[in-house]
């Protein structure tokens, strides 16, 4: 029996959305016993994502949850100004708590839609007992951030340069937890009030975890199996002109 990996992916409408989702889904097609929970940042499910998911070939659940307007980034805002993916990840967590039996064996992993994942990562996730961690490439303003020194499969220190006082100085892509923790700590989740850089720490401390619980994966955390890549915003100068003229390219 191969327990299921439940992955929550927030996603929002932008020019590169379908490209990002295509790239990610075609990685995930290589992963067995995988359940993709895709949560749109929207008032209602869009046709684009609905059609995309129905053709993607993966086992999935399609949800939506709009980010509160007070916490929504404007086009001109730097992306660090607001926490991203909060309402969507919470909606995914609620779905798991309401639709999966607490006895289910499985793992929870948060997958942003524009990261890059090595398939080996999913094998590592499936060796998690309670909670596991590994470094994330191109993260924290460094080549990698997350677990530092590891020994005998345990994380002993963190490697980070920014806000090192965080309980878990690690990217959202750098940890997985046993799904049973969600039923044990029903309040654990995300909040828009969390200070910058503390989303991961807030969630993991909400599950009553500390560094001592973190199992070191990816070759004692010396391999990079996931990168915090970020898709460049599409340059749409000509398309924008056509849209203003009411003559956009063929939809
Ligand atoms: N996201 C969202 N709504 C937003 C901005 C981002 O749902 O208004 C999602 C996005 O699709 C991604 C995750 O939240 O899955 C993290 O956002 P992003 O990749 O933009 O953040 P960064 O990688 O720059 O930290
Ligand atoms: Mn991203």
Most informative mutation of 7, 8, 10 for ligand 1 (most atoms within 8 A of CB): 10
Is there a binding annotation on residue 12? yes
Decide if 8 contacts 111 (C-beta within 8 A). yes
Instruction: Name residues whose C-beta falls within 8 Å of residue 170's C-beta, 6 or more positions apart in sequence.
Output: 133, 136, 145, 146, 147, 158, 160, 200
Question: Is 214 within 8 Å of 154 (Cβ atoms)?
Answer: yes
State the DSSP H helix or E strand holding residue 176, giving kind and residue range, or none if neither: strand 175-178
For residue 73, give the ligand 1 atom closest to its CA: 8
Q: Which residues pair with 151 in a beta bridge?
A: 154
58 class by beta-carbon count within 10 Å (0-12 exposed, 13-18 middle, 19+ buried): middle
CA 46 to each of CA 69, 108, 246: distance values in angstroms, whole numbers, following the listed order? 18, 25, 22
Q: Is 200 a catalytic residue?
A: yes
Q: Which ligand is nearest to the CA of 116?
A: 2
pLDDT by 10s per residue, the chain, length 251 = 899 999 999 999 999 999 999 999 999 999 999 999 999 999 999 999 999 999 999 999 999 999 998 878 788 888 888 899 999 999 999 999 999 999 999 999 999 999 999 999 999 999 999 999 999 999 999 999 999 999 999 999 999 999 999 999 999 999 999 999 999 999 999 999 999 999 999 999 999 999 999 999 999 999 999 999 999 999 999 999 999 999 999 98
Q: Which residue's alpha carbon is at the smallest distance from atom 21 of ligand 1?
A: 84
CA distance 111 to 25: 11
Q: What is the ipTM of this complex?
A: 0.99
- C-alpha span between 161 and 169 (Å, rounded): 9
């Amino acid at each position: 029996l191969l327990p299921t990996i439940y992955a929550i992916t927030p996603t929002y409408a932008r020019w590169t959305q379908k490209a990002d989702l295509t790239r990610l889904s075609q990685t995930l097609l290589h992963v067995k016993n995988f359940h993709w929970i895709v949560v749109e940042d929207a008032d209602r499910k869009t046709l684009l994502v609905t059609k995309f998911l129905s053709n993607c070939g993966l086992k999935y659940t399609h949800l939506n949850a709009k980010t509160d307007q007070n916490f929504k980034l404007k086009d001109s805002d730097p992306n660090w100004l607001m926490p991203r993916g909060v309402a969507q990840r919470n909606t995914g967590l609620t779905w798991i708590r309401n639709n999966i039996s607490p006895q289910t064996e499985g793992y929870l992993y948060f997958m942003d839609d524009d990261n890059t994942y090595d398939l080996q990562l999913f094998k590592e996730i499936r060796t998690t007992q309670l909670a596991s961690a590994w470094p994330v490439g191109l993260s924290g303003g460094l080549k990698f951030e997350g677990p530092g020194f590891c020994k005998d499969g345990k994380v002993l220190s963190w490697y980070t340069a920014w806000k090192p006082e965080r309980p878990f100085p690690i990217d959202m892509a750098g940890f997985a937890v046993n799904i049973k923790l969600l039923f044990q700590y029903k309040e654990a989740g995300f909040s828009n009030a969390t200070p910058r850089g503390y989303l991961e720490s807030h969630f993991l401390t909400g599950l009553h975890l500390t560094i001592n619980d973190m199992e070191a994966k990816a070759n004692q955390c010396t391999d990079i199996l996931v990168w915090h890549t970020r898709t460049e915003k599409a340059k749409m100068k000509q398309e924008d002109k056509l849209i203003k003229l009411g003559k956009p390219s063929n939809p």
